């Protein structure tokens, strides 16, 4: 599970800060104007001290989610900790396995229309 940090309206990545020196991930608001679906996710690959995540579409629950794909500090893949690694690649909403990376066209998981990127709304660890 992702742990919410201090809310910050400025996205670290859009502010031009070198991600390698900043060990907190960021959340961005996303909205679909066609069907009104909205969510807050990292919007791609991101990491904090505890998790590496990739924003993905879960075809099991039709949600846009940040899926844990590795341990902290940008290291992808299994960590060697069986309790931690059992959650790698699973949807955090439904624990489904049918997750695919969210592509650059930014489709809505409900209607496949393009989602609109809003402001950075927070940071996570």
pLDDT digits (tens, 9 = 90+) for 54-100: 999 999 999 999 999 998 777 899 999 999 999 999 999 999 999 99
Instruction: Give the three-state DSSP class for 83.
Output: helix
Determine the pLDDT at residue 11. 40
Determine the pLDDT at residue 21. 53
Backbone angles phi, psi at 60, to 5 degrees: -75, -40
CB neighbours of residue 35 within 10 Å: 13
Q: How many CA atoms lie within 13 A of 109 on its CB side?
A: 20
CA distance 44 to 34: 22
CA distance 40 to 25: 12
CA distance 28 to 54: 13
Q: What is the pTM of this model?
A: 0.78
Determine the pLDDT at residue 89. 96
Task: Tell me the percentage of the chain whose pLDDT exceeds 90.
Answer: 56
What are the beta bridge partners of residue 71?
A: 51
Determine the pLDDT at residue 52. 92
Mean per-residue pLDDT, 47-55: 90
């Amino acid at each position: 599970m992702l742990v919410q940090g201090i809310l910050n309206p400025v996205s670290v990545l859009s502010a031009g800060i070198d991600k390698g020196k900043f060990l907190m991930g960021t959340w961005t608001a996303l909205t679909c104007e066609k069907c009104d679906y909205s969510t807050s996710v990292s919007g791609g690959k991101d990491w904090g001290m505890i998790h590496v995540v990739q924003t993905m579409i879960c075809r099991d629950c039709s949600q846009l989610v940040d899926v844990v794909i590795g341990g902290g500090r940008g290291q992808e893949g299994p960590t060697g900790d069986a309790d931690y690694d059992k959650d790698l690649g699973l949807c955090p909403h439904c624990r489904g396995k049918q997750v695919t990376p969210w592509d650059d066209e930014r489709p809505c998981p409900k209607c496949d229309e393009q989602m609109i990127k809003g402001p950075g709304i927070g940071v996570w660890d």
